[in-house]
Amino acid sequence: MDNRFSHIEISLVIGGTAAVLMLAVLFNFPLAAAIVPGFLMLTVIALKKGYKSSELWQFSITGIKRNKNIAWLLAFIGVILPTWYYSGTIGHLNDLFLSLISPEYFFTAAFIAAAVMSLIIGSAVGSLSIIGLPVMGAAEALGIPAALTAGALVSGAFVGDRTSPLSSSFQLLSFSVELEQRKQLKTIVPTMLISAALTACIFFVVDQIVDKGSAGASVEGMNVNELLTGSLFVSLIPPLVLSIMILLGKNMKLSFSAGIGSAAVILLFRGVPVSEWLYGSIFGTGALGGFQGMFPFIIFILIVGAYCQIIEDTKMIQPYINRIFRDTTSLPKNTAKTIGVAAGVSLISPNQSFPILLAGRSLLPFWKTHFSKEHLARILADSTVVFAGIVPWSLLAILCSTILSVPVLAYAPYAVFLYLTCVVTMLYSMRKSRQAKKTVSAAS
């Protein structure tokens, strides 16, 4: 049978899926329901190509099973953030960061504070929900440009969104490139550190140039004496426990259970009613959505897993990937091509998860054969993962914009971390390529 997919068929499946998802974002329609038409279209075309329904069913089950750990992670994130809120962890972190923000170095401090918060909680939206609002309020009080402030905050928020093991995008990338989490962390940290350092330097320069208006105003945060009390250190126990468990390579479910359990002990000790905590964990509190808020995304992730697995197993777009990636020796050239593919997929997707899975699963065979999975993980972390923050119709960018009350197109030019990562990862590949050539020359 001729099971090759034509350009028209691929455009109908991927383009049609992306179009419906964009409409869902525009009209606030559930993404899990919006991807169903694309999934059905993919199934119908695959059946016409000669694939049996039993085969497609098996492909789907495989994709769902592969994504089940991501679904568990989203469920745990939905519960852990409200738990940390009730235990005082999030409040104390917020006060701590605000107390360290100085008007003279406002943009630099805002970037670093958002970066640290996002690394702790693993969420761009979560970190902006916690620290973004008070920082934007401080910017308004000081007469500081809102777009610049939002750019610094979004830059910092994506440091953790791409890097923290608690991040759903980190877990999705780990699955899509089939890389063990500790290896992935070791792989993507170097370019993050370089990009973050350069971003901090840029905002430091901006701090010297931009007029702060009423620079004598202060940013309200925790009193210095309060920082030295035991209350703060107790509040930091849950994220510390979770981080240690993850770094030790413990099971994800066990690690998050420990993070939730330690916070639960603290909140009970501080007198928070169990009923209030349980209600918040399920239905959310404030900007933290709880398990109920995460449930639609869990369903969406499972359907996307089945969708991408069918595309992978039917080799729908593999012939076209092979045409683009013909050079099997140049790491820099293939890095540039991968960034281009990542940008293209991100531009047609209104959701961060979809391009991570689609690009990762589609490009993995080539990178695994000719280079390494580690290189692919690094490049996608520095492109696909962060692009979602500056694509105007991306759900993640829209959420960032809504939280900060600054349009995406207004803050996007100042979200420098999201651009620098591509440049840094490109230079990093060039350096690795030169090192490999020197090694070969020395050996011969």
- Domain identity same for 42 and 145: no
Q: Which of 32, 70, 33, 40 is nearest to 56 (CA)?
A: 40
- Domain identity same for 26 and 73: no
- Domain identity same for 333 and 190: yes
Mean pLDDT rounded to a whole number for the chain = 83
Q: What is the span of the domain harbouring residue 3? A: 1-51
Q: 444 in a domain, yes or no?
A: no
CA 98, CA 156: separation in Å to the nearest integer?
Answer: 14
Burial class of 403 by CB neighbour count within 10 A (0 to 12, 13 to 18, 19+): buried
- Domain identity same for 32 and 106: no
- Domain identity same for 82 and 13: no
Confidence (pTM): 0.72
Structure tokens at 267: 């909140």
pLDDT tens across 1-10, in order?
A: 556 788 888 8
Residue 305, pLDDT > 90, answer: no
- Domain identity same for 189 and 334: yes
Rg (CA), the chain: 22
- Domain identity same for 251 and 153: yes
Local confidence band at 217 (pLDDT 50, 70, 90 cut-offs): very low
Q: 396 in a domain, yes or no?
A: no
Q: For residue 287, what is the DSSP state? A: T
pLDDT tens across 330-356, in order?
A: 888 999 999 988 888 787 776 677 788
CA 206 to the chain's CA centroid: 26
So what's the pLDDT on residue 426? 94
Whether the Cβ atoms of residue 94 and residue 138 lie closer than 8 Å to each other: no
Q: Which of 367, 359, 242, 285 is nearest to 86 (CA)?
A: 285
Give the count of domains, the chain.
2
- Domain identity same for 136 and 21: no
CA 272, CA 255: separation in Å to the nearest integer?
Answer: 23
Phi, psi of 229 (to 5 degrees): -80, 160
Residue 53, pLDDT > 70, answer: yes
CB atoms within 10 A of CB 414: 22
Q: Among 60-64, 402-406, 411-415, whose mean pLDDT is lowest?
A: 402-406
Question: CA of 31: how far to CAs of 277, 296, 363, in Å?
Answer: 28, 8, 25
So what's the pLDDT on residue 3? 67
Q: 184 in a domain, yes or no?
A: yes
So what's the pLDDT on residue 241? 86
- Domain identity same for 185 and 236: yes
Q: What is the C-alpha end-to-end distance of the chain, expressed in Å?
A: 48
Q: 443 in a domain, yes or no?
A: no
- Domain identity same for 302 and 331: yes
- Domain identity same for 43 and 79: no
Q: Among 207-221, 241-255, 412-426, whose mean pLDDT is lowest?
A: 207-221
- Domain identity same for 228 and 357: yes
